[in-house]
Amino acid sequence: MAGQTVRLGVAQETLMIPLYGRAVESRKPEGEAVLRDPAAEAMVEAIDYDFSRFDGGPSLAGTVMRTNLFDHWVRTFLAENPDATVVEIGTGLNTRYERTDNGRAHWFELDLPDVIELRRTFFTDSPRRRMLAASVLDDDWTAAPQAQGGPYFLAAEAVLGYLPEEDVRRAIGMLAERFPGALLALDTTGPGMVDTQDSHDALSKVEAKLRWNCPDPRVLEEWHPGNRLLASHTFTTMPAEIRDKLPAQYQEMIANMTQQQLPQVEDYRLNLLRLG
Ligand SMILES: C[S@@+](CC[C@H](N)C(=O)[O-])C[C@H]1O[C@@H](n2cnc3c(N)ncnc32)[C@H](O)[C@@H]1O
């Protein structure tokens, strides 16, 4: 039964969307779910919040497809670098550690202080897993992951779009300076999504607004010498090895979206950037 009252800032509340997406997905019958996430199910049960506002739209499926690709990138990285360090930037109540940890890597989970306070009611630090309460824009938080050593995988899933472009540039510049050679997974939203967010099925239900309008993620290569965009996918151009393993309902949805070429779909990209 829902019971835990939460008070979160405006941008922070958006963590409820992917949390609920994973919980809904996890409850689906065998063969219909992209992922299992019993921890997300339990958190949705425990938190006093009207999650039903996100029911019925396509965004929950979108959050799950996004997470599935980010998980794939992390698993691939850890298979090649088993002692790597993973940094979740704007971790929210994400459970990537539960889904992809290999028993050897080190994890840092960064978010704003009110989110980390909430996160600490569900998760505890361990010798290989630590929460960090700070803004990605703060100067000090990188010291702990830097002291741990690389190679680094940085995941900023559904985070940077809520910042103005000048802040995203500053964050990416700082990450490139402090974690050169790291992989950074991040999503970008172009005008098709930014300009229609007031009618977006999930974003219209929260106060937060997308602020970084990025029509072409190749611009990230210009933001720091050595930055290289290794991959950039829309939901209609997911890597074949990921798309082909999705449940039938998802494959149908992707086929429909491919036909329709909706600007809000085609302008939303999932990117893998090597930092210079
Ligand atoms: C849509 S949620 C995504 C959460 C998580 N990445 C996931 O996929 O479940 C956005 C998250 O970004 C965090 N966030 C927003 N601005 C931030 C900042 N300046 N520094 C760190 N985290 C931030 C929010 O608090 C929130 O947890």
pLDDT greater than 50 at residue 181: yes
Burial of 79 (0-12, 13-18, 19+ CB in 10 A): exposed
Q: Which atom of ligand 1 is nearest to the CA of 167?
A: 19
Q: Is 114 within the bounds of a domain?
A: yes
Confidence of residue 31 (pLDDT cuts 50, 70, 90): very high
pLDDT greater than 60 at residue 40: yes
pLDDT greater than 60 at residue 73: yes
Q: What is the CATH number of the domain that holds 139?
A: 3.40.50.150
Report, as an integer, the average pLDDT of 73-80: 98
Percentage of the chain exceeding pLDDT 70 = 99
Q: Is 27 within the bounds of a domain?
A: no
Residue predicted with more confidence, 203 or 93: 93
Q: Is 74 within the bounds of a domain?
A: yes
Expressed in angstroms and rounded, the spacing between residue 255 Cα and the centre of ligand 1 is 30
Burial code (b: 16+ CB inside 10 Å, e: under 16) for 17-50 equals bbbbbbbbbbeeeeeebbbbbebbbebbeebebe
pLDDT, tens digit (0-9, with 9 covering 90-100), for 129-179 = 999 999 999 999 999 999 999 999 999 999 999 999 999 999 999 999 999
Count of domains for the chain: 1
At residue 1, the pLDDT reads 46
As a whole number of angstroms, the distance between CA 130 and CA 182 comes to 19
What range does the domain containing 71 cover? 67-274
Q: Is the dihedral of CA 265, 266, 272, 276 positive or negative?
A: negative
Q: Alpha helices, DSSP H only, in the chain?
A: 10-13, 16-26, 38-46, 59-80, 96-100, 113-119, 143-148, 165-178, 191-194, 240-243, 248-260, 263-266
Residues across the chain: 276
For residue 84, give both structure tokens.
């790597």
CA atoms within 13 A on the CB side of 120: 13
Q: Is 216 within the bounds of a domain?
A: yes
Which of the residue ranges 47-61, 95-109, 152-166, 212-226 would you say has the lowest mean pLDDT?
47-61
Q: Is 59 within the bounds of a domain?
A: no
- Return the best residue to mutate from 111, 168, 193 for the ligand 1 pocket (most ligand atoms within 8 A of CB): 111
Expressed in angstroms and rounded, the spacing between residue 39 Cα and the centre of ligand 1 is 18
Q: Which atom of ligand 1 is nearest to the CA of 18?
A: 9
pLDDT greater than 50 at residue 117: yes
Beta strand 4-5 pairing with 106-111:
unpaired
Q: Is 4 within the bounds of a domain?
A: no
Expressed in angstroms and rounded, the spacing between residue 112 Cα and the centre of ligand 1 is 8
The residue whose CA is least distant from atom 2 of ligand 1 is 15
pLDDT greater than 70 at residue 2: no
Q: Is 14 within the bounds of a domain?
A: no
Confidence of residue 17 (pLDDT cuts 50, 70, 90): very high
The residue whose CA is least distant from atom 14 of ligand 1 is 90
Report, as an integer, the average pLDDT of 1-11: 80
Using CB distances shorter than 6 Å, the residues near ligand 1 are 11-12, 14-15, 17-18, 90-92, 94, 110-112, 115, 135-137, 157-159, 162
Expressed in angstroms and rounded, the spacing between residue 247 Cα and the centre of ligand 1 is 28
